[in-house]
Amino acid sequence: MYSVVLVDDERLIVRGLKTVINWAELGCEVTGTAYDGAGGLELIRRLKPDIVLTDIRMPNMDGLKMLAALRSEYPRMQMSVLTAYRDFEYARQALNLGVCRYLLKPSSMDELVEAVRVMTQRLGARAGEDEDEEETDEAAEAGSFIVQRALSYMREHCADHMTLSDVADKVYVSQWHLSKLINRHTHQSFFELIGSMRAERARLLLADPSMRVVDVALAVGYHDVAHFSKSFKRVTGKTPVEYRASLAGRPEPDL
């Protein structure tokens, strides 16, 4: 029997899906239900079901990030979406992230049963496949999606005090998994990327001769000028003072 988790913020829909579909006939068993995205994600991580049928427009949850996180962490898991959200681009992205079926509410019983049958067939077909190869092939799109969202958040907040755990929470994966994805897709570590982003922002600020180096350091997230100078030189090959002096027609400021 394949295990199934149902997630929807409309309790009536969850109750209907659980009772109306003949799960046993489909070789399945509903092992858990949740009524919001965060609770659903926590439940799915705990139960690790074979199949997930979920809405993606729920409070306090970015549906695409949730789907990408699940696909990246659990490449064998089969997912279908049941939603009232009729945006074509959103549906396209969901399918690219490995969703089996994107069903619109209200869906007929035939559509729901067909979606479950396809997911069980895929599970059966993949029972003997090598897990590492499957993860590389099937989870690549989801991993790339997660990394791009993580990088976007990091660029926006690179001047703030930010940890890998903070970023991982924003894209709904563990910090260990995000670290692995970042290394795989960028060939850099989290701290190397933060350093590069801060250095890029510092370059722009250093072009303004009215800003002291210490002020630039503070503006890009460093509370110690020596640490800032060392990090900036690691990325650019020059200290902040040397970089500023290299700018044509710019005087070298006092620290």
Which amino acid is it at 186?
Answer: T
Question: Residue 39: which pLDDT band, with cuts at 50, 70 and 90?
Answer: confident
Tell me the DSSP string of 7-53: E-S-HHHHHHHHHHS-TGGGTEEEEEEESSHHHHHHHHHHH--SEEE
Tokens of 28: 């399945």
Mean pLDDT for all residues in the chain: 87
Domains delineated in the chain: 2-130 (3.40.50.2300), 192-246 (1.10.10.60)
For the beta carbon of residue 221, count every other beta carbon within 10 angstroms.
20
The Cα–Cα gap between 85 and 57 comes to 7
Q: Which has the higher per-residue pLDDT, 198 or 37?
A: 198
Work out the angle between the directed axes of helices 63-73 and 140-157 (0-180°, nearest 10): 130
Question: Residue 132: which pLDDT band, with cuts at 50, 70 and 90?
Answer: very low
Question: Residue 128: which pLDDT band, with cuts at 50, 70 and 90?
Answer: low
* E strand segments, the chain: 2-7, 28-34, 51-54, 78-83, 101-104
Across residues 109-129, what is the average pLDDT? 86
Evaluate if residue 239 carries a pLDDT over 60.
yes
Which residues have C-beta within 8 Å of that of residue 27, sequence separation ≥ 6?
1, 2, 120
The Cα–Cα gap between 211 and 193 comes to 24
What pLDDT does residue 255 have? Answer: 44
Peptide bond into 253 cis (omega under 30): no
Across residues 171-192, what is the average pLDDT? 92
What pLDDT does residue 136 have? Answer: 45
Q: What 3-state class would DSSP assign to 135?
A: helix
Evaluate if residue 31 carries a pLDDT over 50.
yes
Evaluate if residue 254 carries a pLDDT over 50.
no
Across residues 167-192, what is the average pLDDT? 92
Tokens of 255: 């620290």
Using one digit for the tens of pLDDT, what is the confidence trace for 58-92? 877 777 888 888 888 898 999 999 888 888 888 88
**C-alpha closest to that of 204 among 174, 232, 166:** 232
The Cα–Cα gap between 127 and 141 comes to 22
Evaluate if residue 117 carries a pLDDT over 90.
yes
**C-alpha closest to that of 159 among 223, 233, 93:** 223
Q: Which has the higher per-residue pLDDT, 139 or 213?
A: 213
Q: Which has the higher per-residue pLDDT, 88 or 241?
A: 241
Evaluate if residue 30 carries a pLDDT over 50.
yes
